[in-house]
Amino acid sequence: MDSILVRGNGALSGQIPIAGAKNACLTLMPATLLSEEPLTLTNAPRLSDIRTMTELLSSLGAEVTSLQEGMVIAMATHGEINHVAKYDIVRKMRASNLVLGPLLAREGRAVVSLPGGCAIGARPMDLHIQGLTALGAEIELKDGYLHALAQGGRLRGARIRLEFASVGATENILMAATLAKGTTVLDNAAREPEIVDLADCLRAMGAQIEGDGTPTITIQGVDRLHGATHRVVTDRIELGTYMLAPAMCGGEIELLGGRIDLLSAFCEKLDAAGIDVSETEAGLKVARRNGRIRAVDVTTEPFPGFPTDLQAQMMALLCLAEGTSVLEEKIFENRFMHAPELTRMGAKIEVHGGTARVTGVERLKGAPVMATDLRASVSLILAGLAAEGETRVSRVYHLDRGYEHVVAKLRGVGADIERVSET
């Protein structure tokens, strides 16, 4: 099993290219099940989760080809479709549940295992099931699988209101509704950039969608969708992660492809903490102002609020702030597992339920730490970059699910970091 060794090495300088969004690409790939014609995605990230989705789609009968060293994914589902998504694949990744809506829409039936992924909370399928049931699906849970059948063989448009603005439920319902008979109106829909990116792709395939990016999305069902080529949106979570590197270590980094509109709430918190973010022709430039980082309070919220996927990284930054910060996690109930590991490095953190109180220290010290999930793993790497001495981050297989070439990208701006194999 691999570890990552990080040695505090002072200020960082240079450029980091930001990849296409993992969460967007994992949503876009199942859209190939909606059409018999080819769907091609460009600017795809090269991650283990993308390989898992490729494996899942292939098992369902899709042809998936990786081109240009994985940055282009060419897909086609023109043959017979297998409507059963098996546990052995689905258990690896939460996003696997996004084949449910497309299979129901095109085949009128689906059998999909309950999904896996990082252990950061229950993340139930209730909202997915309620939305698809409103579209005319009969869904039953048997032996760990969701057995879904469209009444009359085709879904029907409906008015649906989500109890919570769930990203996954919005995506599943949105894809299913594109081929449903009649009009679907989805209220309290998620507004994340990944939702807008999916809607843009579906429109390129011939779907009739309005209102994405707002709380109400209207979908007029069509009889068929055609092929398309679509560029995956910039990964705002990778972007925010690397923005924190110069904030913690000093120096200045330009993030190629970065956009402030993807992270407005996050950028506001960085400004309050004493971090400058400016737009360039190629992306965003980030540098820390003079003096120590200032403490700020953070509450995670659905977009356009502060992203839960940047909470762990932001905690690493605030460990070095002057004063006390309070972080409140409102999206997932088990997402402070990185706090004890940061404490091993000298951080002062008190966790009470969904709230963490962080009292900043002048410096962190390197230590052996263990990654507990995807975002926690990179928060420990950031902490190691700013710490005295050497930090060894173990169980970094989580990292491969969401960050491509993290060691090379950080080395490129002057970080002392390497990946080593443990015997």
| Pair of tokens at residue 148 | 């879904």
Q: Are 30 and 98 in contact (CB under 8 A)?
A: yes
Q: Rounded to an integer, what distance in angstroms lies between the CA atom of residue 268 and that of residue 52?
A: 35
Q: Rounded to an integer, what distance in angstroms lies between the CA atom of residue 240 and that of residue 268?
A: 12
Instruction: Confirm whether 249 is a catalytic residue.
Output: no
Q: Which among 226, 224, 230 has a CA at the least distance from the CA of 29?
A: 230
Q: Rounded to an integer, what distance in angstroms lies between the CA atom of residue 393 and that of residue 192?
A: 31
Q: Are 410 and 417 in contact (CB under 8 A)?
A: yes
The single residue of 25, 118, 267, 319 carrying the catalytic annotation is: 118
125 annotated to a ligand binding site: yes
3-state secondary structure at position 372: coil
353 to 119, 276, 301, 309, 328: CA distances (angstroms): 16, 32, 17, 18, 9
28 annotated to a ligand binding site: no
115 annotated to a ligand binding site: no
Q: Rounded to an integer, what distance in angstroms lies between the CA atom of residue 240 and that of residue 309?
A: 9
156 to 109, 136, 184, 219, 290: CA distances (angstroms): 14, 6, 8, 11, 59
23 annotated to a ligand binding site: yes
Q: How far out from the chain centre does Cα 270 lie? A: 20
126 annotated to a ligand binding site: yes
7 annotated to a ligand binding site: no
- Outline where 68-108 has alpha helix (H): 87-90, 100-107
235 annotated to a ligand binding site: no
**Beta carbons within 10 angstroms of residue 363's beta carbon:** 12
Q: Rounded to an integer, what distance in angstroms lies between the CA atom of residue 237 and that of residue 21?
A: 8
94 annotated to a ligand binding site: yes
DSSP state for residue 182 in the 8-state scheme = S
**Beta carbons within 10 angstroms of residue 365's beta carbon:** 16
List CB contacts of 68: < 8 A, sequence separation 6 or more.
none
**Beta carbons within 10 angstroms of residue 65's beta carbon:** 12
Q: Strands, DSSP E only, in 68-213?
A: 72-76, 84-85, 109-113, 137-142, 145-150, 159-161, 183-187, 208-210
| Pair of tokens at residue 335 | 């997402």
**Beta carbons within 10 angstroms of residue 153's beta carbon:** 10
348 annotated to a ligand binding site: no
Residues making up the binding site for UDP-N-acetyl-alpha-D-glucosamine: 94, 123-127, 309, 331
Residues making up the binding site: 22-23, 94, 123-127, 309, 331
The residues carrying an active-site annotation are 118
Residues making up the binding site for phosphoenolpyruvate: 22-23
